[in-house]
């Protein structure tokens, strides 16, 4: 009930003001509608984070703030890029930072609207994971990233300001109920 109410409030507020801070059962985080136009309807373009995405975003930002780092701001464009990549990996049964069409995380982010145009500096990094059962929970995925020096360095990097978190669920490599995660982090400086 609370999750559905938060999604509705989130959709309406994001369309009306373009920026919203949500405090829900999973914790609080900032959302910026960087490429949402006022002409688009909430139903078409609102960020409807599922519970797993909210939890993972909260875990990442909690780890950052506990270390004196800034919480990352959820960007609509990075969310779309991360969500689409997770969905594609499930649908096409592969696991890679490069899409089957050869698109890099940077290319996918630019196509989703998180581009370098108008900025003096632009950078992006990505982490991906998948799991089934308890190994596919946001907590388990987050813990595995924190135990990996390379993934940990990305998620806790001081340079990052923006984030997109996408999760898809389906059959992967013959296993049903697999959750596939993509997290894109970025920074643009004018």
Distances (CA, A) of 106 to 24, 33, 115, 156, 188: 31, 19, 9, 19, 12
**What band does 21 get if pLDDT is binned at 50, 70 and 90?**
very low
Q: What tens digit of pLDDT does each residue of 59-113 get?
A: 999 999 999 999 999 999 999 999 999 999 999 999 999 999 999 999 999 999 9
Of 29, 4, 176, the C-alpha closest to 90 is: 176
137 touches 131 (CB < 8 A): yes
Give the rounded distance of the alpha carbon of 40 from its chain centre. 21
Distances (CA, A) of 142 to 93, 121, 134, 139, 159: 22, 28, 12, 5, 20
Q: What tens digit of pLDDT does each residue of 140-181 get?
A: 999 999 999 999 999 999 999 999 999 999 999 999 999 999
**Of residues 167 and 24, which shows the higher confidence score?**
167
Report the distance separating Cα 35 and Cα 41, nearest Å. Answer: 13
186 touches 75 (CB < 8 A): yes
Number of H helices, E strands in the chain: 7, 6
0.85 exceeded by pTM: no
């Amino acid at each position: 009930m609370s999750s559905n109410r938060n999604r509705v409030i989130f959709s309406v507020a994001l369309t009306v003001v373009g920026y919203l801070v949500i405090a829900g059962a999973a914790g609080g985080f900032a959302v910026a509608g960087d490429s949402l136009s006022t002409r688009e309807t909430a139903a078409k373009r609102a960020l409807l984070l599922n519970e797993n995405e909210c939890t993972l975003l909260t875990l990442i930002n909690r780890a950052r703030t506990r270390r004196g780092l800034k919480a990352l701001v959820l960007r609509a464009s990075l969310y779309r890029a991360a969500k689409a990549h997770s969905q594609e990996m499930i649908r096409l049964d592969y696991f890679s930072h490069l899409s089957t069409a050869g698109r890099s995380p940077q290319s996918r982010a630019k196509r989703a609207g998180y581009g370098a145009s108008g900025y003096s500096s632009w950078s992006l990094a990505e982490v991906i994971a998948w799991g089934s059962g308890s190994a596919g929970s946001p907590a388990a995925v987050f813990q595995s990233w924190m135990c990996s020096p390379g993934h940990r360095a990305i998620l806790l990097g001081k340079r990052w300001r923006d984030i997109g978190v996408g999760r898809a669920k389906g059959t992967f490599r013959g296993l049903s109920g697999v959750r596939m995660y993509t997290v894109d982090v970025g920074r643009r400086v004018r």
